[in-house]
Structure 1
Amino acid sequence: MVTGPTSRARQKEGATSQPASRGTATLAEIARQAGVSAPTVSKVLNGRAHVAPATRDKVEALLRNHGYRRRRGIARPRPSGLLELVFHELISMWATEIIRGAENVARQEGLTLVLSEVAGREEMGQPWVDGVLTRDPAGVILVMSDLTAAQRDLLVSRDVPFVVMDPAGYPADDVPSIGTTNYQGGYSATRHLLELGHRRIAVIGGPESVLCSRARIDGYRAALETGGVACEDRFVRHGTFQTEAGHRIARDLLAGPDRPTAIFAGNDVQAMGVYQAARELGLRIPEDVSVVGFDDLSVSSWMGPPLTTVRQPLVDMAEAAARVVLDLGRGVDPGMRRVELATNLVVRDSTAPPPA
């Protein structure tokens, strides 16, 4: 549904109107100014697909100038029957858990789950936005990604509901997001190692720009401070959440003098790299070095030795994100715009007191 400045527009487009102001125009006049047909203007106004991006931008600018706007909070049917799940990077078992959660809800709702990847970029590109508008999904779940203000406004203007899961940065106040207690998870992991007697504890986070990584490292720092242990800069490293980064950084940490007796890896995938580095250096886990991960992927319990890790409920997070975005598409206010699900420490065999 849309609102516009004239009764003529309302009769033609099924819209309600706002009081007319100087400089308002009918849709036909806007079409003439844009050099397009009136049906094209109607498509843009009602958020329909099959309009060239440049033409859409020109028409939207004219519509805004003349006071047309879409009525908010009214659901409209989605003929595509799609639920879109977007990864900044589609990697390994971590992504599999999220896909499983989103698919659970899609199946219950009779929707088809569509996956896309933005090739490691945390910010969506305009071609991706144009593709979403063409597909017209029932909702979009963005995993560890961010939208610019302009892209956000564009999706909102077309009534495409979206939610951010595990956001890369701090989402705007009006952007729904589903996350987990990353700070508490980092604190719990480090506190566990301190209670075992470790004092030289290193951390291998993810990219410095990613919110969840910063929160986990903040929890690590807070646990050290609470435990009366100084945080040494040489023990704070940033990786990529990939196995290769865990391996490379762990080799550097463990090969040097006065090496750490424990490593808190920012995720289970990097912990696998730590395991590999320890083996190559002839170090035993946990006798020579303890390792803690984050995520509790299914493979964690099968590693040798089974990995102590912080469990974040990835399936539950994805299910919650899917339900929120579908509610938004139905015009249902989710109430809370920022949701964090709890983490908990799962202790297995990769941690022990430090060597004497």
Structure 2
Amino acid sequence: MAAAAGVSRSAVSFAFNNPQRISTATRERILAAAEALGYTPNTLGRMLQAGTTNSIGVLLPQRLAQILENPYYARFLMGAGQVCDREGYTLLLTPPLRDSVLKAIPYAAVDGFIVCGLEIDRGEVAELDRRGIPFVLIDSDRHEGAPHVEVDDRGGAREVARYLLELGHRRLAVLSIDPGPDVAERGYRGPLGRRLAGIADALAEAGLTMADVALAEVPVTRADGYRATRELMAGPRPPTAILGLSDVLAYGAVDALRELGIDVPGDVSVTGFDDLAESAWFRPRLTTVRQPIVTKGRMAADFLMSAIRGEDQHPHQMLGTALVIRDSATKPA
């Protein structure tokens, strides 16, 4: 490349990295030679030399196919992507490698991570601390060494459960996010733990406990919401109201009830949690808890950019939720 342009290797480097250090004519000659040869600079080499990638990673708790099936992540990544566009960064999705999130960390060439839905006492957070990689926690418990963004999961779940109880429902079922295989040892944690605690709060106000509720723990897919609802309705005491801890699970519940010939909400009420875009035009329009998903993604990326620049003071931000009453819940028949 340098020989073709009749310049030194240093001049070629300056042409692509520090053009102010050579004349305009020399730079134009080098760029013309590069175009003729089909030459492009080695981006990876430049990143390694500079010690930065201009990329942030989103460390995901599930396989990519499961993540992309859930529209929640599309909204979350929209918010994070808005910050990347503004800052000139790229966004790298980092799912588990051979079913291990920990193994995926060393292979992601990023300047920092948004960590989604991982418990702080697991090895991933300790590994990021050890490596000195900036990170922000989302949908997790708080960690004093890193920024954290959450929503008022407990308040939102309490509000929607209270609404169903005030309508008169006493036979409730909860379609819960799958807590994983170790729940018996460690209990419910993170957003799931907070949402179940909110439901327990509302039940206590009505003189009930979680023992009075049918709890189905399933992966967050529409198909699993459908399957779990079929099983609940086949039981000896089918619910009059189904409270989904995600909108996606609520969609599956309505699919199952419709197939069974059960009217929603005339026979069984259904509620969700998230307020995805589809919930406003789903039929019946879904009563749900709105959380600011795009804002959460945008704030997480903003916090991470501050951490990468060394500006971060480890803020903890809680975003509010709101009950959105539509058409999918009414008084029990």
TM normalised by structure 1 equals 0.71
What residue is the counterpart of 1:193 in the other structure? 164
Check if 1:205 corresponds to 2:184.
no
Give the whole-Å Cα distance in 1 for the aligned partners of 2:59 and 2:124: 15
What residue is the counterpart of 2:91 in the other structure? 113
What residue is the counterpart of 2:310 in the other structure? 331
What residue is the counterpart of 2:195 in the other structure? 216
Name the SS for the 1:164 alignment partner: strand
Deviation at 1:125, TM superposition (A): 2.4
Runs of 4+ in 1 over 4 A off after TM superposition: 146-151
Give the whole-Å Cα distance in 1 for the aligned partners of 2:216 and 2:174: 6
Check if 1:354 corresponds to 2:317.
no
- 1:216-295 aligned at under 5 Å gives the runs 216-233=195-212, 235-295=214-274
- 1:1-356 aligned at under 5 Å gives the runs 79-89=52-62, 90=67, 91-118=69-96, 124-126=101-103, 128-132=104-108, 135=109, 137-146=110-119, 151-167=124-140, 170-208=141-179, 209=183, 211-233=190-212, 235-336=214-315, 338-355=316-333
Name the SS for the 1:105 alignment partner: helix
Amino acid at match of 1:145: L
Name the SS for the 1:253 alignment partner: helix
What residue is the counterpart of 1:71 in the other structure? none
Equivalenced residues, count: 274
Amino acid at match of 1:141: I
Structure with the largest fraction of helix: 2
Give the whole-Å Cα distance in 2 for the aligned partners of 1:187 and 1:79: 44
TM-superposition CA deviations, 1:32-55 (whole Å, max 9, x none): xxxxxxxxxxxxxxxx969xxxxx
Deviation at 1:82, TM superposition (A): 0.6
TM-superposition CA deviations, 1:199-246 (whole Å, max 9, x none): 111111112355212211111111011122344355122121222221
Unaligned 5+ residue runs, structure 1? 1-47, 51-76
Distance 1:81-1:253 versus aligned 2 partners, 3 A rule: same
**8 Å CA contact retained: 1:88, 1:119:** no
Distance 1:125-1:231 versus aligned 2 partners, 3 A rule: closer
Amino acid at match of 1:109: E
Name the SS for the 1:204 alignment partner: strand
Amino acid at match of 1:87: L
**8 Å CA contact retained: 1:324, 1:334:** no
Amino acid at match of 2:101: M
Higher relative contact order (CA 8 A, sep 6+): 2
**8 Å CA contact retained: 2:174, 2:244:** yes
Deviation at 1:334, TM superposition (A): 3.0
**8 Å CA contact retained: 1:200, 1:259:** yes
Amino acid at match of 1:114: L
Give the whole-Å Cα distance in 1 for the aligned partners of 2:132 and 2:210: 47
TM-superposition CA deviations, 1:58-81 (whole Å, max 9, x none): xxxxxxxxxxxxxxxxxxx75311
Name the SS for the 2:75 alignment partner: helix
**8 Å CA contact retained: 1:183, 1:215:** yes
Amino acid at match of 1:299: E
Amino acid at match of 1:116: T
Give the whole-Å Cα distance in 2 for the aligned partners of 1:314 and 1:120: 28
Percent of aligned pairs with the same amino acid: 32
Distance 1:83-1:222 versus aligned 2 partners, 3 A rule: same
Give the whole-Å Cα distance in 2 for the aligned partners of 1:307 and 1:78: 48
Name the SS for the 2:101 alignment partner: coil
Give the whole-Å Cα distance in 1 for the aligned partners of 2:198 and 2:128: 35
Give the whole-Å Cα distance in 1 for the aligned partners of 2:331 and 2:54: 54
Distance 1:166-1:152 versus aligned 2 partners, 3 A rule: closer
Amino acid at match of 1:279: R
Deviation at 1:146, TM superposition (A): 4.3
TM normalised by structure 2 equals 0.76
Deviation at 1:120, TM superposition (A): 9.8
Distance 1:160-1:226 versus aligned 2 partners, 3 A rule: same
